[in-house]
């Protein structure tokens, strides 16, 4: 098949979260399975030097944006056999320090930026020397693609449009006047169109106008049809349930594998777990925690520091976790208030809470390798990637049973010795602490602990299966 993938971030180019890992790995896996893949990405400032080797395919991609006609360029980079990336360049919109904003504020013209991007993708297709069978867009930034495709090219060209929701909490909501930038007739702005409580909702374009709709785990695909998780779109999603599928993300084991990971002090697998202890000592040293305490359990966390991830629960529970004998290794950035709270706790427990605020790829890997447990008390979690990485690193996940966490973590049962982690249901510090206590208790029973680690490391969430699921959705008629 010839497949176009559209997203706003992608490893190894730009990343703020899991979306980048997914776009990068899915594109690569589909190409590895023998399909022709083109992935579209905006040309952000951070990418400019990385694309020096790219070839300009057209510098005259012209799209309407409200009253303006805007021109962009597209650059193509061959990444592997059958795999290309096409960067959409429009410096006025994308030559900036951030992706979506700076200093905690979204860019005020994000609607213009991503409407331009989405329209430019559709306008670029004829220039690609490539007749696509599938157009697969991801998240609100690319949600306009299926709609614009259906208006601009659909009658002349048959292909299947697929839209994937990675996080319903981000819908691309903008003031009503921004609807002009869509260049759509006024009747598209209605309850059955892009309107959402008086605002423009870009995510709705993807939900309404795609042939196939997916969410990044089976559990999440069901949850978003309920009031609790639907963020106001549950009714619409229920009405689309016939085309809505859950496809669990994979884990990219070329990047996240303790046997080959270049960021960690000692490589290991399930036969050489002594090297995991070496990684633990190195992690303690990096975070300036006492290495003599390497015998005691360390709980890791790598996360956007936001309420979605339950960071507030963790902040509340730090004193008890410390009292229970564990240390914490936390890496993340996000909400300034929560960051401040964690910083204060790190000052209060300098030998027990190792904290780094910021984005640090190397440290993320070092925490996966060096910690004994990995905490993800998410309020909601469409898929979550870190629990899958943790499993591969033998770093036992403690998760709230929601979304993809519920689909990937099975509570350890000492009776049958099955299960790969620990989970809890209610979103309170108390239930989370009870799960932490179960994990710590198991940690003290060496035989059981080794069993959980072995069960965890034996799990296989490689991309092959997920890519094949997408392929069958691409192919279904
Ligand atoms: P989300 O996309 O909701 O943030 P995921 O679990 O899907 O959550 O993916 C998060 C990805 O971003 C993981 O690869 C994780 O390692 C990475 N990540 C998150 N925060 C940081 C950080 N501060 N430094 C480095 N990597 C991070
Ligand atoms: C979103 C979700 C996360 C998911 C990621 C990749 O950022 O919050 O759960 O793993 O997308 O699909």
Q: Which ligand is nearest to the CA of 166?
A: 2
C-alpha–C-alpha distance, residues 191 and 197, integer Å: 8
Q: Give, for ligand 2, the residue of 25, 26, 166, 407 to mutate: max count of ligand atoms closer than 8 Å to Cβ.
A: 166
Cβ of residue 364 lying under 6 Å from some atom of ligand 1 = yes
Measured from the Cα of 385, ligand 1's closest atom is 6
Is the pLDDT at 459 greater than 90? The verdict is yes
- Phi and psi for 398 in degrees, rounded to 5? -120, 110
**Domains in the chain, start-ordered, CATH in brackets?**
2-250+464-475 (3.40.50.2000), 274-461 (3.40.50.2000)
Decide: helix, strand or coil at residue 150. Answer: helix
Instruction: Take residue 79 and report the two structure tokens written for it.
Output: 């990444």
C-alpha–C-alpha distance, residues 452 and 210, integer Å: 41
Q: If 0-12 CB within 10 Å is exposed, 13-18 middle and 19+ buried, where does residue 152 land?
A: middle
Cβ of residue 399 lying under 6 Å from some atom of ligand 2 = no
Least confident range from 126-135, 266-275, 389-398: namely 126-135
Dist. CA 154 → ligand 1 center (Å): 36
Q: What is the mean pLDDT of residues 126-153?
A: 94
Q: Are residues 212 and 160 in contact, defined by beta-carbon separation less than 8 angstroms? A: yes
Q: Are residues 113 and 119 in contact, defined by beta-carbon separation less than 8 angstroms? A: no
Model pLDDT, residue 130 = 86
- HSE (CB half, 13 Å, CA atoms) of 179? 20
Distance from CA of residue 258 to its chain's centroid? 21
CB within 8 Å of 326: residues ≥ 6 apart: 296, 297, 298, 299, 373, 436, 440
C-alpha–C-alpha distance, residues 408 and 168, integer Å: 20
Instruction: Look at ligand 1, atom 9, and give the residue with the nearest C-alpha.
Output: 18
| Secondary structure element (H or E) that encloses residue 86, with its range | strand 83-89
CA dist list (Å): 325 to 294, 319, 322, 331, 397 = 12, 10, 5, 20, 18
Q: pLDDT: is 157 or 102 the higher one?
A: 102
Is the pLDDT at 191 greater than 90? The verdict is no
Model pLDDT, residue 9 = 98
* 416-437: b (≥16 Cβ within 10 Å) or e: eeebbbbbbeebebebbbebbe
Q: What is the mean pLDDT of residues 336-357?
A: 98
Confidence of residue 152 (pLDDT cuts 50, 70, 90): confident
Confidence of residue 156 (pLDDT cuts 50, 70, 90): confident
Model pLDDT, residue 157 = 79
Dist. CA 416 → ligand 2 center (Å): 32
C-alpha–C-alpha distance, residues 372 and 456, integer Å: 12
- HSE (CB half, 13 Å, CA atoms) of 238? 11
Sequence-separated contacts (24+) of 386-390 with Cβ below 8 Å: 386/302, 386/303, 387/421, 388/249, 388/250, 388/251, 388/256, 388/459, 388/461, 389/251, 389/256, 390/300, 390/456
Strand ordering across the sheet containing 199-201 = 173-174, 199-201, 195-196
Sign of CA dihedral 359, 360, 361, 366: negative
Model pLDDT, residue 50 = 78
Is the pLDDT at 377 greater than 90? The verdict is yes
Model pLDDT, residue 103 = 85
Confidence of residue 477 (pLDDT cuts 50, 70, 90): low
CB within 8 Å of 312: residues ≥ 6 apart: 338, 341
Name the residue among 411, 456, 388, 379 with its Cα closest to residue 250. 388
- Phi and psi for 161 in degrees, rounded to 5? -105, 135
Model pLDDT, residue 155 = 66
Q: Which ligand is nearest to the CA of 358?
A: 1
- HSE (CB half, 13 Å, CA atoms) of 218? 5
Q: Give, for ligand 2, the residue of 10, 15, 19, 307 to mutate: max count of ligand atoms closer than 8 Å to Cβ.
A: 19
pLDDT single digits (tens) 60-99:
999 999 999 999 999 999 999 999 999 999 999 999 999 9
Model pLDDT, residue 321 = 98
C-alpha–C-alpha distance, residues 374 and 332, integer Å: 14
Instruction: Look at ligand 1, atom 22, and give the residue with the nearest C-alpha.
Output: 359
Dist. CA 17 → ligand 2 center (Å): 7
Dist. CA 16 → ligand 1 center (Å): 7
Model pLDDT, residue 158 = 83
Model pLDDT, residue 135 = 97
CA dist list (Å): 457 to 53, 205, 360, 388, 438 = 39, 40, 24, 10, 20
* 452-461: b (≥16 Cβ within 10 Å) or e: bbebbbebeb
């Amino acid at each position: 098949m010839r497949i176009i993938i559209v997203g706003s971030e992608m490893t190894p180019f730009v990343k703020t979260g899991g979306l980048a890992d997914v776009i990068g790995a899915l594109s690569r896996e589909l190409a590895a399975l023998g399909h022709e893949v083109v992935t579209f990405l905006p040309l952000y400032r951070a990418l400019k030097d990385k694309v020096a080797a790219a070839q300009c395919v057209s510098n005259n991609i012209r799209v309407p944006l409200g009253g303006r006609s805007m021109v962009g360029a597209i650059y193509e980079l061959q990444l592997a056999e059958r795999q290309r990336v096409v960067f959409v360049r429009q410096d006025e919109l994308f030559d900036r320090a951030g992706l979506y904003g700076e200093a905690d504020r979204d860019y005020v013209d994000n609607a213009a930026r991503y409407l331009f991007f989405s329209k430019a993708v559709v306008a670029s297709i004829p220039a690609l020397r490539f007749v696509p069978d599938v157009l697969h867009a991801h998240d609100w930034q690319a949600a306009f693609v299926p709609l614009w495709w259906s208006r601009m090219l659909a009658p002349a060209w048959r292909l299947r449009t697929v839209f994937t929701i990675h996080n319903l909490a981000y819908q691309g909501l903008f003031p009503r006047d921004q609807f002009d930038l869509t260049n759509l007739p006024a009747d598209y702005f209605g309850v059955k169109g892009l309107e959402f409580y008086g605002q423009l909702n870009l995510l709705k374009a993807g939900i309404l106008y795609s042939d196939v709709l997916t969410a990044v785990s089976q559990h999440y695909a069901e949850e978003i049809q309920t009031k609790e998780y639907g963020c106001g779109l549950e009714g619409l999603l229920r009405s689309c349930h016939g085309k809505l599928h859950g496809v669990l993300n994979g884990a990219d084991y070329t990047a996240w594998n303790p046997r080959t990971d270049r960021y960690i002090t000692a490589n290991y697998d399930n036969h050489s777990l002594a090297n995991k202890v070496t990684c633990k000592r190195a992690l303690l040293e990096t975070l300036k925690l006492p290495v003599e305490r390497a015998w005691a359990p360390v709980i890791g966390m790598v996360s956007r520091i936001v309420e979605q991830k339950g960071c507030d629960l963790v902040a509340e529970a730090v004193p008890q976790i410390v009292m229970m004998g564990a240390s914490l290794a936390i890496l993340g950035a996000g909400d300034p208030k929560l960051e401040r709270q964690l910083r204060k706790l790190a000052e209060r427990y300098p030998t027990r809470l190792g904290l780094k605020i910021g984005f640090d790829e190397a440290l993320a890997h070092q925490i996966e390798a060096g910690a004994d447990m990995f905490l993800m008390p998410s309020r909601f979690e469409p898929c979550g990637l870190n629990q899958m990485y943790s499993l591969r690193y033998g770093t036992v996940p403690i998760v709230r049973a929601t979304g993809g966490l519920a689909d990937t973590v099975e509570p350890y049962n000492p009776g049958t010795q099955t299960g790969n982690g620990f989970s809890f249901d209610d979103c309170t510090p108390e239930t989370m602490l009870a799960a932490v206590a179960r994990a710590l208790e198991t940690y003290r029973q060496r035989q059981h602990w080794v069993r959980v680690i072995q069960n965890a490391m034996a799990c296989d969430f490689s991309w092959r299966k997920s890519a094949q699921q997408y392929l069958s959705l691409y192919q279904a008629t």
